[in-house]
Amino acid sequence: MNPLATLLIAASLAVPALSVFAADAPAAAAPAAGKPDLTQGSAKFAQICASCHGADGNSGAAANPKLAQQHPGYLVKQLQEFKSGKRPSPIMQPIAAQLTDADMKNISYWAGSQKAKTGFAKDKEMALLGERIYRGGIGERQVAACAGCHSPNGAGVPSQYPRLSGQHADYTTAQLVGFREGARKNSPQMNQIASKLNDREIRAVADYIAGLR
């Protein structure tokens, strides 16, 4: 499976060196327990994530997800599931295996703080079909509207449902096919929905999502 980004990750952790002038100047406040360290997140992202996901989380490769502006809680969950093997990936699993919980949090919050670049749909006819499915679902097959969970503009719901707007169509297509075929099993809800979509409908939804903003 392609690195993610549902959209899926990366990480960070380091202890700043003490200044030799610490006795003469107020010590910098240490991050509160559990609070993400965006400086460490930025450094770790640049070290292990940027080559696939872009320096600012806006991947330039259609097969790799954009991570910028994604909900941090969602990214943390995906990294944890890559690490545990619940979400198999020959690329992401060994990367996530190196990360501590603090690393995952730092990277995820840093990526979430970056501004996502807008995308665009490539096929007007397909995008119109994708819009109908995204906004209204497919009633006769009991396919729920994507907008019900991911919001009409694709912003998603923090920690629960990922941001989709502007995501690369190739990546979204691959994830929906993975859900449908059972290769990706970390969301039973998406397995059920994707199982009712054919290839054309998946491509249409993915193309529409790419142009959402």
Does residue 31 lie in a domain region? Answer: no
% of the chain residues with pLDDT over 90: 83
* pLDDT tens-digit series, residues 47-76: 999 999 999 999 999 999 999 999 999 999
Give the 3-state secondary structure of residue 211: helix
Does residue 175 lie in a domain region? Answer: yes
Given 67, 88, 112, which residue is the final one in a domain? Answer: 112
Given 86, 112, 138, which residue is the final one in a domain? Answer: 112
Q: What is the pTM of this model?
A: 0.82
Take residue 202 and report the two structure tokens written for it. Answer: 């998946």
Range of the domain at 60: 38-112
Does residue 26 lie in a domain region? Answer: no
Residues 147 and 101 occupy one common structural domain: no
- Cα distance between residue 179 and residue 146, in whole Å: 14
Residues 103 and 131 occupy one common structural domain: no
Domain count, the chain: 2
Residue 143: φ, ψ to 5°:
-95, 115
CATH number at residue 130: 1.10.760.10
Residues 58 and 130 occupy one common structural domain: no
How many residues appear in the chain? 213
* pLDDT tens-digit series, residues 151-195: 999 999 998 899 999 999 999 999 999 999 999 999 999 999 999
Does residue 11 lie in a domain region? Answer: no
Does residue 7 lie in a domain region? Answer: no
* pLDDT tens-digit series, residues 6-47: 333 333 333 332 222 233 333 333 334 589 999 999 999 999
67, 5 contact by CB (below 8 A):
yes
HSE, CB side, 13 Å, CA atoms: give it for residue 84.
11
- Cα distance between residue 145 and residue 118, in whole Å: 22
Residues 133 and 99 occupy one common structural domain: no
